[in-house]
């Protein structure tokens, strides 16, 4: 069975500060990993995905994530937060031969002026 755990249901940063959202996964097979973002009253949109091509994955809006197999982690980072980054962020996992994408509980990012 696969699962993801997102550490911290809420993260607050100041505008211009580093954003770090943590995700750990559990999978008995090589995983595919994703970060999605949900803005208020909208559906989820893909930020980036890991498919084993490269451990450091760059996404949209300046976000990136690094796959660390030894730590079973896929943390999301952005060097400098912008007010528009305030949203709910979801880490997700799936696998070859798997039929579904499993989502973490989400982390709400607050950005202070």
Contact yes or no for 15/83 (Cβ under 8 A) = yes
The residues that bridge with 20 in the sheet, in sequence order, are 77
Between 12 and 96, name the residue whose CB sits nearer to another protein.
96
Nearer to another protein, 51 or 80 (CB): 51
Q: How far is the CB of 92 from another protein (least distance, A)?
A: 8
Residue 46 makes contact with another protein by CB under 8 A? yes
Cβ-based neighbours of 49, under 8 Å, separated by 6 or more:
32, 33, 34, 35, 57
- Residue 44 makes contact with another protein by CB under 8 A: yes
| Binding interface with another protein (CB under 8 A) | 32, 34, 36, 38, 41-46, 49, 51, 88, 90, 94-103, 105-106, 108
């Amino acid at each position: 069975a696969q699962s993801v755990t997102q550490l911290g249901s809420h993260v607050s940063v100041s505008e211009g500060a580093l954003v770090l959202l943590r995700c750990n996964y559990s999978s008995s097979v090589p995983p595919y990993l994703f970060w999605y973002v949900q803005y208020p009253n909208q559906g989820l949109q893909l930020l980036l995905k890991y498919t084993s091509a490269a451990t450091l994955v760059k996404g949209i809006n300046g976000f990136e994530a690094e796959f660390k197999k030894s730590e079973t982690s896929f943390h999301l980072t952005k060097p400098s937060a912008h007010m528009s980054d305030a949203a709910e962020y979801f880490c997700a996992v799936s696998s070859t031969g798997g039929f579904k994408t499993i989502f973490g509980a989400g982390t709400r990012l607050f950005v202070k002026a």
